[in-house]
Structure 1
Amino acid sequence: MASEHKPTKKMAINAQKGLDLRDRFDCGGTEVGVKRAKQIVEGKPMSDEDVKSMHSYFARHDVDKDTKSHDWGNEDDPSAGYIAWLLWGGDEGKTWADKEREKVEE
């Protein structure tokens, strides 16, 4: 049975920050990431497939935090990886996707 998953307010704040930084620095994220950010910001329920996609994004991109050329979280000189991470809901998005994926797998 498919279920709906509601993104959190903190995820929406992170996603909006990612969109703003992407506009300002013209880097970070793909069109898929931008679409995901807009979905999170709008607070629309997400499908099981969305949750699985988010979970796999975070699993693949956790290594981006190890960047040496930028300080992770620096909003005056953000890495493309940091901006992309925010587009997907940031750390709260990762925690949420991990938790929601467990529900999907049950």
Structure 2
Amino acid sequence: MAEARTFKPTQRMASAARRGLRLRDKFGRGGTDVGAARARQLASGDALSEDEITSMYSYFARHAVDKKAAGERWNDDGNPSPGFIAWLLWGGDAGEAWARSKHDTLTHD
């Protein structure tokens, strides 16, 4: 039986996840329990499975529109939109690019 592949998140993803957790704690909004669990996984540098990469890829595909809806509250640590906090929990822009790249690799193997 083939061994399951895992993939390490980047430092930029871990940093975004930690920022998201801090903002979620401070403002009491943004993300679901699933997103918070993903953030803790990324922040600690835990490897992700192929299924988790697919989940990340799907999250970012569904929520890319949140960037436009948030307007000036995107990337605002003083009054962040819930969507921005959630985006960070999943690794932020670095997580989006990483998940897309890994997903493309997995689906073309």
Shorter chain as normaliser: what TM range?
over 0.9
1:72 match: 74
- TM-score normalised by structure 2 residue count: 0.93
> Between Structure 1 and Structure 2, how many residues are aligned?
106
Aligned CA-pair RMSD: 1.2
Paired residues of 1:70 and 1:77 also in contact (CA < 8 A): no
1:102 match: 104
Map of 1:1-106 to 2, 5 A cutoff?
2-68=4-70, 70-105=72-107, 106=109
- Give 5+ residue unaligned stretches, structure 2: none
Whole-angstrom CA distance in 1 between matches of 2:20 and 2:29: 10
- Give 5+ residue unaligned stretches, structure 1: none
Cα pair distance change 1:44/1:78, threshold 3 Å: same
Runs of 4+ deviating beyond 6 Å = none
Query: Post-superposition shift, 1:9?
Result: 0.3
- TM-score normalised by structure 1 residue count: 0.95
Identity %: 47
- The one-letter code sitting in structure 2 at the alignment partner of 1:38 is R
